[in-house]
Amino acid sequence: MIISVAVTKQLVLDDVALTPPVALAPLAGITDLPFRQLVASFGAGWVVSEMVASQEMVQAKPGVRERAELGYDQDGTAVQIAGREAYWMAEAARMAAGNGAAIIDINMGCPAKKVTNGYSGSALLRTPDHALSLIEAVVNAVDVPVTLKTRLGWDHDSLNAADVARRAQEAGIKLVTIHGRTRCQFYKGAADWAAIRQIKEAVTIPVIANGDIVDADTARAALRLSGGDGVMIGRGAQGRPWVLAQISAALHGLADPVVPQGRDLIDMVCGHYEAMLAFYGSELGRKVARKHLGWYMDDAGTPPALRKAILTHASPADVLRDLPEAFDLKVAA
């Protein structure tokens, strides 16, 4: 298997092209299928599914909605798995690849206590030998490219990401994404893009910079300081599904996306809401959608009273009725 960087704006992992190298990060409870599809519709090199626990994934024998959630049939989607046992990680990878996943991503970066208390996610940075056994199990289980997402280290006294990345490359990992914080920082302080350069210098596989990248200027700075081959955007895309395409246009000379305004913006927000209702069902979809609607309305400057009313409506019909008013206010301004 061969990895090549074809041109500045393209990465190729085996026969999987990631063009341009601007990706949507996995965010639990946020980057679900409707949101990933919306981001991809504007333009993204690739998107990553929400993290799925490997043992639960295999034992649950997911149904139609769960299979769709992972995006097996979606172009440009990596399926991210997490776990602490090699057997379950390998089985989950086989299941994902067998269902059509083009890329398997291993989560070694999630800082959430419910994950790290289970010795998964970024907790694996504390046991690099064990982490490598999981990586080897996944790589040996599938024929599709396997990537890794992690952090600089567990804390500032154990910044071991460069060594972990080097060993991961030797085990067959094709690309590594580094969030420029330690686990103990969670999301506090500023991402240290310059610290990612040490990882870049330790490996020959592509390195993707992640953390606090919200626009073209921060993307340029992250690439300059890290020496990375691309960027991954997470929280910066909340309420702005077009931002990856904007960054791609600025960095790689691609066409600027048409950012919806006025009636087009209202139609996009309503369409996203209806997609969540269709995917989750009315009751759950209404709850899941609140965070997205809140971000859209924050950007629109919707008055607090109207924002609260929309987010607390019990009926989706009432939400759809009032959403145009929330965004007409921005148009009028």
234 carries a ligand binding annotation = yes
d(CA 187, CA 33): 24
- CA distances, 106 to each of 1, 79, 81, 275 (Å): 19, 9, 5, 28
Whether the CB-CB separation of 144 and 174 falls below 8 Å is answered with: no
**HSE (side-chain half, CA atoms, 13 Å) at 207:** 33
Cα-Cα-Cα-Cα dihedral sign, residues 248, 250, 256, 259: positive
235 carries a ligand binding annotation = yes
d(CA 207, CA 5): 11
Q: How far is CA 49 from the centre of its chain?
A: 6
Cα–Cα–Cα angle for 150, 156, 160, nearest 5°? 45
Residue 270 known to be catalytic: no
Catalytic residue among 81, 102, 110, 152: 110
d(CA 83, CA 115): 9
Whether the CB-CB separation of 273 and 286 falls below 8 Å is answered with: no
80 carries a ligand binding annotation = yes
Residue type (1 letter), 281: G
Q: Which residue has the tokens 């914080």?
A: 181
Q: How many Cβ atoms are within 10 Å of 64's Cβ, its own excluded? A: 7
174 carries a ligand binding annotation = no
- CA distances, 318 to each of 217, 285, 301 (Å): 39, 14, 20
20: cis peptide before it, omega within 30°? yes
Q: What are phi and psi of 180, to 5 degrees?
A: -75, 40
d(CA 219, CA 50): 23
Binding-site residues sit at 80, 149, 179, 234-235
Q: Which are the catalytic amino acids? A: 110
Binding-site residues for FMN sit at 80, 149, 179, 234-235
